[in-house]
Amino acid sequence: MRLYRFSIAPLFWVLLASIAAAQDSPPPAHLVHDWSNRHVIFAGLTPENLATSVAADPRAWHSWASHARHRFERPEANSETTLEPHPKPDPELDSESDELRFPNHGHHHHHKGLARDWQMPIATLVGPNVFPAKFNFDVNAAPDCANDYVVFPANGFGDTPGSSGPGVRASLIAFNNLYTGPGPSGICPTPLLPASQPSVLFAYNTATITSGMVYLSPTLSLDGNKIAFIESNNGSGNNYTAFHVLTWKAGEGTAWNDAAAPGNCSAGNSCMTTLVLNNTRSDSNSSPFIDYAHDTAYVGDDAGLLHKITPVFNGAPAEVTGGGWPVQLRSAPDLAQSPVYDSVSGRIFLTDGTAGNLYVIDAASGAILKTISITNFTPSDPLVDSTNQTVFVFAPDSSFNLSVSQYDTAGTLLRNIRVSSLAGVIAVYTGAFDNNYFANPSSGLLYFSGAINGFASLCAVGFTGTTMNSSFLGPLTLSTNSMTSVPTPMTEAFNPNLSTAKDRLFLGIDADCAMGSPDGCIESFDISNGFPSGILNSFVISSGGGVPSVGGIVIDNVSSSAQASSIYFEARTNGPKAIKLTQSGLQ
């Protein structure tokens, strides 16, 4: 079979030319998965509108590759692609597909014993709303052991700036030869000699000040050669926020505790640029969002400032100052959350953790177009449907109810629904659409979660047209003990190569999710045919019930190759670890 082939590159005419020429050997079609992919989506993509959409915003390519192109595949013999319309069942992919049904607030049925594919030590666990970043070299080819990689923020607190070698902790660590597992099994490093652990691709000490840390989500260039991230110190000593772009080199640094310092930027060497954004305030919650079409980054800080940086990957990063930038949301201290840029409206949406507001900002002028009061607590980062020009925010409302609000991109409220009262830990994170939504919102669901009445719980809401319904589905209870656990951010993955449960939802529970133990876990759900009646699979994290037990989850491929369709996340299990599990069976 042959897919419609498209490739993203910094120069978008390359994409258009590759489509028009229908080349037999097109350039590799890279794909990036990071924290921001789940925050801006494009629905209703077709081969006819794709090129225009991607030229305006390369992020449309992610929505196409993840949720649309399977609808337009056509059979063709002798294809090298791994995306087959009717692949042969793989024993690994189709294992452990039984639903585990939990009575509401009752005792869980027995969870099957599931073993992790691999786990690698990292310096320090960063937090529930922080994600690794995954680079796929070519989604039109078999998973690539050498060139596919995943990079984890690893904090690396306390190491001397510029130090390297044994005993120096890495603040960024990446792995390749990812598609491995116990046994050993998988396709890396070769099908004839599989490995049971990945390889360290690089490990860097990126600190530029004492106590400089990387505890927010990194973002990648479209070609995977550069990584943008924030260094801050979380209020330790003199507050500090810096924006870095790292050009990495394979083989520099060997482990979480044997890090290299970035090179001197000469030809053939690694390089890290440093742009100091604030010398008096840290950045507690804001990860950088990249507008790839204009090579521009947006990021907030604890002074209530939204910064604009351009260029990012195609030159020396510089902050835009003057003409309304940086944008002052409200007077410091104000914990700005992660911004989300919408290319259609030309607006930035972000919330703050101090006032509980949603801000609508003009990306050109920096003017605050609207300030919307949502809650007395911390709302989620926004979720933007760029096609339908709608914005969603999830929050504990001022009466402690789990709530979801839908706005248009002008900031007009379209719908607000309130579920039940939250208790215990009332943190609420961004929800996720199912695969059906990407084809037609009225046939899809938006999933969200919270500790309803103290129990970690899953809910969903449907749509009439593009507007949320006033009623919701659920809650489905995910934990055993009241007041002790909270669901962490969720990630959806549609995998047409799975024989069952093709559309799956993944989330973490920080404690008390299995058999009454204090441990956390990863849980998956079959959302292929509507709201699930139970938990599909669960992977226990031996964390001792600490908070947080698990960070944000990213996915990689939809391949039928062994160990090559996976999820990646950080967790505390006998020390902080970077962990990979298969999408099917969580094993």
Q: Residues 118-172: pLDDT tens digits? A: 999 998 776 888 999 999 999 889 999 999 999 999 886 768 999 999 999 999 9
The three-state (H, E, C) secondary structure of 222-245, written as one string: CCCCEEEEEEECCCCCCCCEEEEE
pLDDT average, residue stretch 481-492: 86
Over the stretch 104-121, which tens digit does the pLDDT of each residue have? 333 333 333 344 689 999
Residue ranges in 85-205 assigned as alpha helix (H)? none
DSSP collapsed to 3 states, 367-411: CEEEEEECCCCCCCCCEEECCCCEEEEEEECCCCEEEEEEEECCC
Q: Hey, what's the torsion of the CAs at 440, 441, 445, 451, to 10 degrees?
A: 150
The CA distance from 274 to 272, in Å, is 7
pLDDT score at 91: 34
Q: Which residues of the chain does CATH 2.120.10.30 include?
A: 284-380
Instruction: Kindly state the average pLDDT of the residues 188-197.
Output: 84
Q: What is the pLDDT of residue 25?
A: 60
CA-CA distances (angstroms) from residue 170 to 118, 126, 276, 535? 19, 13, 21, 36
State mean pLDDT over 555-572: 87
User: Between the CA atoms of 1, 496, 492 and 392, what dihedral angle is there, to the nearest 10 degrees?
Assistant: 70
Cα distance between residue 468 and residue 397, in whole Å = 18
pLDDT at 237: 59
Q: Judge whether residue 102 has pLDDT over 50.
A: no
CA-wise closest residue to 172 among 248, 277, 59, 225: 248
Whether the link from the prior residue into 548 is cis, omega within 30° of 0, is yes
pTM above 0.85, yes or no: yes
493 pLDDT band, cuts 50/70/90, is very high
pLDDT band at 282 (very low <50, low <70, confident <90, very high): very high
Task: Supply the pLDDT for residue 583.
Answer: 86
Arithmetic mean of pLDDT, 21-45: 84
Distance CA 62, CA 2 (A): 19
For a pLDDT cut of 90, what percent of the chain falls above it?
66
In the structure, what pLDDT confidence band is assigned to residue 576 with cuts at 50, 70 and 90?
confident
What pLDDT does residue 116 have? 63
Which two tokens mark 438? 């990407």
Note the pLDDT of residue 205. Answer: 96
Q: Mean pLDDT, to the nearest integer, of 339-353?
A: 97
pLDDT at 8: 40
Q: What is the pLDDT of residue 392?
A: 98
Question: Quick one: average pLDDT of 75-98?
Answer: 34
Q: How far apart are CA 186 and CA 561, in angstroms?
A: 8
Separation of first and last alpha carbons in the chain: 29
Residue 341, number of CB atoms within 10 A of its CB: 29
**Residue 538: per-residue pLDDT:** 87
Structure tokens at 474: 């659920």
Span 240-253, pLDDT tens digits: 999 999 999 999 99
State residue 528's pLDDT score: 97
Q: Are 203 and 260 in contact (CB under 8 A)?
A: yes
Please tell me the CATH code under which domain 284-380 is placed: 2.120.10.30
Q: Is the pLDDT of residue 569 over 90?
A: yes
Residue 113 has a pLDDT of 35
For residue 79, pLDDT beyond 60:
no
Convert the pLDDT of each residue in 374-433 to its tens digit.
Answer: 999 999 999 999 999 999 999 999 899 999 999 999 999 999 999 999 998 889 999 999
584 vs 411 pLDDT, higher one: 411
| Average confidence (pLDDT) over 452-474 | 96
Mean pLDDT of the chain: 86
Higher pLDDT, 390 or 182: 390
Angle made by CA atoms 275, 133, 538, in degrees to the nearest 5: 145
